[in-house]
Amino acid sequence: MKNSQTPNRGNRYVSWFLRTLLLLVALFFMLFSFDVFSMDGTLLQKLGGFLMHNLFTIFILFVLWLAWKHENLAGVLLIGMSVFMVFFFGFPSRLMGGTWLMISLPFAVGLLFLANYYLIGTKKS
């Protein structure tokens, strides 16, 4: 009897590599937010600043959770987040080199998710 559900697409090894890569990108983003604890202020203010610095990280972790079942949607959301980041951090004429790195990492992973989903084929479970 055949499975009536639609098969997952893409290569499962590439999928696991991309999920791991996305987790590393999230940890890389989170690394920059620990400087909040060296500033002056109360613990509540520091925790608020830590949360504010990690908004993109939280979104990336949500996309990582979503990528387990919907790689194509995860890819589109990562590319959309990268476009949003261009305007959030300043239009391209004002962006510095490090900011371009922070924008291009989710964009590249999003493109790889889409390439894995649409170009590589169906998974063999």
Q: How much is the pLDDT for 94?
A: 67
pTM of the shown model: 0.81
How many angstroms separate the CA atoms of 94 and 87, rounded?
10
pLDDT above 70 for 125: no
pLDDT above 90 for 96: no
Residues of the chain with pLDDT > 90, as a percent, come to: 46
Which residues, 6 or more positions from 11, have their beta carbon under 8 angstroms from its beta carbon?
116, 120, 121, 123
Question: Which whole number is the average pLDDT over 93-99?
Answer: 71
Virtual torsion, Cα 24, 25, 30, 33, nearest 10 deg: 140
SS3 content of the chain, % helix, strand, coil (to 5): 75, 0, 20
How many angstroms separate the CA atoms of 103 and 73, rounded?
18
Residues 8-37 have pLDDT tens digits of: 677 888 999 999 999 999 999 899 888 888
